[in-house]
Amino acid sequence: MTAVADTPQHRRALRSTAKVLPEHARASNRSMVLQLLFHAGPRSRAELARATGLTRVTISDLVSSLLAQGLVTELGQQADGKVGKPGTLVGLDAEAFQIVAVDLADDERVHGAVLDLSGAVQERRTAAVGGCTGAAAVEVLLGLCRELVAATTRPVLGVGVGSPGVIDLSGRVLQAPNRGWYDLPLAEQLSAALELPVHVANDADTAALGEFTWGGASGNGLLVLTVGGGVGAGIVLDGALVQGNEHAAGELGHVTALDERDEHDQAPLGRPQPCACGRRGCLETVLSVPAMRRRIAGLDPAATDAALASVGRRLGIVLAPVVSALNLSEVVLCGPEELLGGPLRDAALATLRERTIPVVSSHVQLRMTSLGEHGALSGAAVLVLSGQLGVT
Amino acid sequence: MTAVADTPQHRRALRSTAKVLPEHARASNRSMVLQLLFHAGPRSRAELARATGLTRVTISDLVSSLLAQGLVTELGQQADGKVGKPGTLVGLDAEAFQIVAVDLADDERVHGAVLDLSGAVQERRTAAVGGCTGAAAVEVLLGLCRELVAATTRPVLGVGVGSPGVIDLSGRVLQAPNRGWYDLPLAEQLSAALELPVHVANDADTAALGEFTWGGASGNGLLVLTVGGGVGAGIVLDGALVQGNEHAAGELGHVTALDERDEHDQAPLGRPQPCACGRRGCLETVLSVPAMRRRIAGLDPAATDAALASVGRRLGIVLAPVVSALNLSEVVLCGPEELLGGPLRDAALATLRERTIPVVSSHVQLRMTSLGEHGALSGAAVLVLSGQLGVT
DNA sequence: AGTTGTTTGTAAGGACGGTTGCCTAACAAA
DNA sequence: TTTGTTAGGCAACCGTCCTTACAAACAACT
């Protein structure tokens, strides 16, 4: 229809650009105010104005619209002993709305929760997958969502879903072998059925978002490694998830981590094992929970520690190039504390530091998640916060 | 002075946010038009409107201001056989302005050039470093800049500099040991002296920008590896350079690539060699130009190929985790063709593909730069295009 | 040749968002 | 009480984009 040819040059030229209207400026400034109230706590209008660089007039206008929507509330006078008129504190009303979050990482049960805007869990529900795949699996998910929405006691801001698989920005599942989903517009379908905004992302990505927002991330550049039945990663740079060319960023589980001839460790991991992907020696074959449990089964404590440390060293070797290339400030491990938290972590960090230049190694952290097993759920909630309010 | 405490939460909250005014929207839309004309060639106003999503009225307004600034020119009627009034083609005037670009990667000579807006080199000059460091090195650079500015025949859009070292977004050189620069506000100093906009970035980063803009990059996610006296990398994701937590992203040269006990290659690289950074087995100790020349000196062609392939395999091993984590679409090598272009590249690509999951490996490219030795210079020019016009 | 329909580019008017300048209220310190 | 400072609101203005309307230029049909 259009006379303009849709050439690759066009798409390239406009890939990361879109028209900007004054109303987008408004939305952006609104997000900035919410972001500030979210992270830094209640503030007076005048303080918001100083912190954002906007004028008091504009902030007043923004705040009044936020008050009208019920997102923020006035919390009374500022009782400092300072000169001048005391300001009126304005704070985010964490209980004004609720978020429905669902985690599909577990193959057996779908885990869901209702959270408030501060990430506090209000309700928790699960549903059995029962081996369902394809459309039936969508039905199970939809059922849990309906149940959770029914359990909310406030208006629902939106629904966030973290799922294994490759998922694009619009919430379309390009492929999720575990569920038998291929090219499925999951967010669109759920949104139509629930009549709510729905955001879907890879579960490692949601875990990374959760860690970024609530895990007390320090610097810039975060990689979250989820260790379960498989191994996945989510990367947050400059406050945004890295998507990758095919939306497959974070596929660290299937990087070769063990070679045929290079194992001379003190607690040898043995020959590279075959992997579900059809190759051998993938990181998943040594770092996944089942693989580690098999390896340490029946070992005495010292041998267990040595075996886990050996796994940690392989992890450190794989992480070193990534951490160097991106100059990450933090690597976070999500998974069973008893496997990951001890010698594995220590060995991985030591190896990572040995193998990177000081300007990188001296700043990088490697730690367990501070969100426990709720990481994926709260991350799915951040998906909604980010999508609906611009807050991360 | 301000009553608002400057807490970490504040900086965190506002890190990737800034107030947005309608004029920023205007600037963004202006950039979008320029971007389209730059990459897709001349268009009529109506076509620009369709491609950008803005109305014809707004485009007319934007185009008229660009015409007034001399950045674009009208190129006559569109002579298609279509119905309706033929449009007036509007095109970027590549010769309306010129760009001064300087490359400091070479320790012996500073290379500079005058380019037009299409990246075509108009003039070329160099200056001897003569072992200068610190302020004296700045003087040499400044002298070359003045010479180049004097050689321009059109108004100068700005000056772009690519330099080794760690450089922040404002063009402050945090550390550049080769030049003896530490915490030096280079862009600011040059800008004050030349009375022109000056943009400074790491040389690997400028090379990556050049490749991204003029190298025919295909997908999303580009890593450019510069191989010279050392090894550096620049990464472009979603059209923007990756900075890193300490602005040290791309420090791949000092990732350990060779271990004490894991070398069983067909053309052994031997024991890990000491590196200038004080550790052993860094990628630089096998992949830098001097290291490779030493290794192949006196070898017959077959042995040379085998040795270079062995280096390539080490490179592939280091790249695999990075390419997987970011799902990169392209890795580009910059450096001597005779060393990098043959068996080394082939072995690196094969190793990279072997060690990554198909969804990643089947899409990734690994090739020599298409910009020859001018990559860094044209990249420095892109720095200016990007900074002044929003075009990449 | 005249009519019709399509497309281009411009003009006028309106909506929206932010700013500056000025005002009043509330408080501490002199 | 006076003075200086800070908070918050009101009015007027400017910039940016939109919608609507219109003239010009052309192809195709009658």
pLDDT-wise least confident of B20-24, B123-127, B223-227: B20-24
Q: Check if A329 contacts B (Cβ < 8 Å).
A: yes
Residue A87 CB in 7 A reach of strand D: yes
Token reading at A164: 């294994």
Q: Specify the range with the lowest mean pLDDT, choosing from A279-283, B18-22, B48-52, B81-85.
A: B81-85
Closest nucleotide (C1' vs CA) to B22 is D16
Chain centroid to CA A86: how far? 39
Residue nearest to nucleotide C20 (CA to C1'): A55
Kindly report which listed range (A372-381, B110-119, B153-162) carries the lowest average pLDDT score: A372-381
Question: A220 to chain B: nearest residue by CA?
Answer: B245
Q: Which residues of A fall within a CB distance of 8 Å from B14?
A: 32, 35-36, 51-52
Residue ranges of A 169-208 with Cβ closer than 8 A to chain B: none
Residue B149 pLDDT > 70? yes
Rounded distance, CA A359 to CA B195, Å?
34
More confident residue, B250 or A217: B250
Residue B124: per-residue pLDDT: 96
Query: A178 to each of A89, A243, B204, how far by Cα in Å?
Result: 49, 21, 40
List bases in chain C with any atom under 7 Å of a protein Cβ. Answer: 5-12, 15-21, 25-29
A43, closest nucleotide (Cα–C1') = D7
For the stretch A196-214, pLDDT in tens is 999 999 999 999 999 999 9
- Report residue B39 as tokens: 């990459």
By CA distance, what is A212's nearest residue in B? Answer: B12
Q: What is the pLDDT of residue B6?
A: 44
Contacts of residue A5, defined as CB under 8 A and 6 or more positions apart, other chains included, come to none
Q: Which of B16, B40, B252 is facing A325, going by the closest CB pair?
A: B252
Residues in chain A where the model's pLDDT stays below 50: 1-6, 8, 10
Decide: CB of A20 under 7 A of nucleic strand D. yes
A147 CA: distance to closest CA in chain B (Å): 34
Q: Name all domains of chain B by residue range, CATH numbers in brackets.
A: 21-92 (1.10.10.10), 98-208+376-389 (3.30.420.40), 217-369 (3.30.420.40)
pTM strictly above 0.85: yes
Query: Chain A neighbours among B 234-263 (CB < 8 Å)?
Result: 235, 237-240, 242-256, 259, 261-263
The confidence score (pLDDT) of residue B28 equals: 92
Whole-angstrom CA distances from A321 to A250, A307, B187, B205, B383 are: 14, 23, 30, 17, 26
Mean pLDDT of chain B: 91
SS3 per-residue string spanning chain A: CCCCCCCHHHHHHHCCCCCCCHHHHHHHHHHHHHHHHHHHCCEEHHHHHHHHCCCHHHHHHHHHHHHHHCCEEEEEECCCCCCCCCCEEEEECCCCCEEEEEECCCCCEEEEEEEECCCCEEEEEEEECCCCCHHHHHHHHHHHHHHHHHHCCCCEEEEEEEECCEECCCCCEEEEHHHCEEEECHHHHHHHHHCCCEEEEEHHHHHHHHHHHHCCCCCCCEEEEEECCCEEEEEEECCEECCCCCCCCCCHHHCECCCCCCCCCCCCCCCCCECCCCCECEHHHHHCHHHHHHHHCCCCHHHHHHHHHHHHHHHHHHHHHHHHHHCCCEEEEECCHHHHCCHHHHHHHHHHHHCCCHHHHCCCEEEECCCHHHHHHHHHHHHHHHHHHCCC
Residues of chain B in contact with residue A31, where contact means CB-CB under 8 angstroms, are 17
pLDDT of residue A126: 96
Q: Which residues pair with B140 in a beta bridge?
A: none
Q: Given an 8 Å threshold on Cβ–Cβ distance, is B244 in contact with A47? A: no
* Structural Rg of chain A based on CA atoms: 23
Q: What is the pLDDT of residues B176-228, one digit of tens each?
A: 998 999 999 999 999 999 999 999 999 999 999 999 999 877 788 999 999 99
Neighbours of B82 (CB within 10 A): 10
> Which pLDDT belongs to residue B263?
52
**pLDDT in the model for residue A262:** 58
pLDDT in tens, B349-361: 999 999 999 999 9
